[in-house]
């Protein structure tokens, strides 16, 4: 059985992108839906929303601490970025080269399901969550 941890990325107070949509509100709608789909596939899923952090650093530390408290095969953090129809789309970030193919597959699936541009898999080694 695969085991996942999924979070809504930012914190209740540390909001993330806003304007066209509110990143925290929208991510918190997506997390339980993704968890539901994974459970239907007989996966074990832990979900997390940070309601306590007051700073970006505190938010990252709180999320990482939660993830590291769980046995899991894969970490998922739901985010929405500010963008336009021309610059928007989906991308999946990964840390190690061993996860590039999976990240590309997930990005493509999201793109096809939503009918939006596939911006692909993006390697990021500078993000606290991915480290």
Query: Which range among 63-67, 78-82, 93-97, 120-124 shows the weakest confidence by mean pLDDT?
Result: 78-82
- Express each pLDDT in 40-50 by its tens digit: 999 999 999 99
Comparing 88 with 7, the larger pLDDT belongs to: 7
State mean pLDDT over 93-117: 89
Which two tokens mark 74?
Answer: 């894969």
Q: What is the pLDDT of residue 43?
A: 94
Q: Give CA–CA dist 64/95, Å, rounded.
A: 14
Comparing 22 with 37, the larger pLDDT belongs to: 37
Question: To 10 degrees, the CA torsion angle through 114, 30, 36, 93?
Answer: 70
State mean pLDDT over 90-99: 89
- Which of the residue ranges 31-45, 79-93, 104-118 has the most confident prediction, judged by mean pLDDT? 31-45
Are 20 and 88 spatial neighbours (Cβ–Cβ below 8 Å)?
no
| First vs last C-alpha separation in the chain | 24
Residues whose CB is less than 8 angstroms from the CB of residue 93 and which lie 6 or more positions away in sequence, other chains included? 103, 121, 122, 123, 124, 127, 130
Q: What is the mean pLDDT of the chain?
A: 87
Residues of the chain with pLDDT > 70: what percent?
92
Comparing 18 with 36, the larger pLDDT belongs to: 36
Q: What is the pLDDT of residue 25?
A: 86
């Amino acid at each position: 059985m695969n085991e996942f941890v999924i979070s809504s990325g930012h914190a209740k107070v540390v909001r993330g992108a806003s304007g066209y949509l509110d990143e925290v509100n929208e991510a918190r709608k997506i997390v339980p839906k993704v968890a539901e789909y994974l459970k239907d596939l007989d996966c074990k899923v832990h979900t997390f929303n940070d309601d306590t952090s007051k700073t970006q650093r505190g938010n990252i530390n709180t999320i990482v601490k939660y993830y590291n408290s769980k046995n899991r095969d894969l970490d998922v953090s739901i985010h929405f970025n500010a963008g336009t129809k021309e610059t928007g789309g989906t991308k999946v970030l990964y840390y190690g080269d061993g996860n590039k193919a999976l990240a590309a597959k997930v990005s493509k699936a999201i793109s096809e399901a939503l009918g939006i541009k596939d911006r692909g898999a993006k390697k990021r080694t500078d993000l606290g969550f991915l480290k």
